[in-house]
Amino acid sequence: MSSAESFVPTPLLLSDSAQKRINALMAEENNSTLKLRVYVTGGGCSGFQYGFDFADNVADDDTVIEFGDAALVVDPLSYQYLVGSTVDYEEGLAGARFRVQNPNATTTCGCGASFMV
């Protein structure tokens, strides 16, 4: 007789550089309740694309994941596509941006802004 295995998915992670950037933005805006909203929408080269926004308000069905003073907010539809991902912040010659490293993505576009599962 076989038994079912239990699996608990890893929630979203926030890199140190992303935490520092969120904390810096909270200080610049003088708003300690500011959170980074991460969401997934249809579109982009690969089918879905990531979006980022800053939120003061959190809906009842949103998931809030706290990392010290920094926090991520994810709506329930987007959460299923982002489980196990890491949100990072990078600065380089192409500019500065938040970026999602998603282990669930089977295909991504060249710039990393869209994906397919």
Find, among 98, 39, 102, 33, the residue nearest to 71 by Cα.
33
Annotation-wise, does 45 bind a ligand? yes
Contact 18, 87 (CB under 8 A): yes
Look at strands 48-55 and 13-14 and give their pairing: unpaired
Annotation-wise, does 109 bind a ligand? yes
Look at strands 114-116 and 107-108 and give their pairing: antiparallel
Other CB atoms within a 10 A radius of the CB of residue 102 amount to 22
**Residues in the chain, overall count:** 117
Annotation-wise, does 23 bind a ligand? no
Binding positions for iron-sulfur cluster? 45, 109, 111
Binding positions? 45, 109, 111
